[in-house]
Structure 1
Amino acid sequence: MEKKSYSVKEAKLKIQNFCVYQDRCHKEVIEKLRQMNMIPEAIDVIVSELIQDNFLNEERFAQSFARGKFRIKKWGRVRIVRELRLRNISKFVVDSALKEIDASEYLNTLDELARKRNAAVKETNSFKRKKKIADYLLYRGWETHLVYEKINELVK
């Protein structure tokens, strides 16, 4: 089956719509353009025009990503940083994105998650119980020292 070929103008319009629907990072846009069989020179031109026209803004993407993953999926900072680094976001932009997360809201969310998980775990052995809760919270990207403080506070 033959893939459709796009002119630079058509591709730019399609990618603008792609970016308007949801904030995107450079990596996602470049992958999408490659899937559309665009040549590297065209990709460079389109990406630079998208940045110029503010359709593509990595800082805005990182901030909305951090806010969304924290508020909706209840991810911790470690997981958010890992996911942003996978998308080739610079350390400076990642650090500014993490400032979007309110410190007290962050600790309240950890407390809420830990309490819910503690209630859900049926294990009676306190060591196994602590391990199950810790594994759950660490998988979601919460900092190790915060996780163990919280677990020691909840499970005696």
Structure 2
Amino acid sequence: MEMQINIESVKSQRNKRAWSQTQLADVSGLSLRTIQRIEKTGSASLESVKSIASVFEIEASDLQKTAIPPVKKMRAKLSALLGVISIMLSGFFVLTATAQPVMVDLQLRSSGETLADVQILNEDNVESEVQISDVVKVLLTTAIESNDTIKISTKV
């Protein structure tokens, strides 16, 4: 059974011990070619993962990639996140109404991971698009209101 593991975790553990790939192969009982493939593709059998985890004195689960949430869960999290961001941005951006464009700093994070970090220069009542992934697209519109505040609307 093949499983996906965190390549950086394997390399980090190996480098922490100042081991070459050959040394890791020797102590784990795996072939050099297997170690090279694992570090290149992140794909390994359960037995290989257990062998590597054993020599690093860690749990096999510590080498596994964290599961990516299903698309629906990601959309729901991003929608909630964008709602919070738009509320926060609308509270922070209080400017004098002019004909100048509005600069919006947009940072989207999910589970501590930055999904997007962009600056958007938006004209009054013009929609800007930010493509986060193949699945998520954010539409952002700024509007300078009569009471000298800026309203930021988002659509996911």
TM-score range, shorter chain: 0.3 to 0.5
More strand by share: 2
Indicate the structure whose relative CO is greater, using CA pairs within 8 Å and at least 6 residues apart.
Answer: 1
TM-score by length of 1: 0.42
TM-score by length of 2: 0.42
The structure whose Rg is larger is: 2
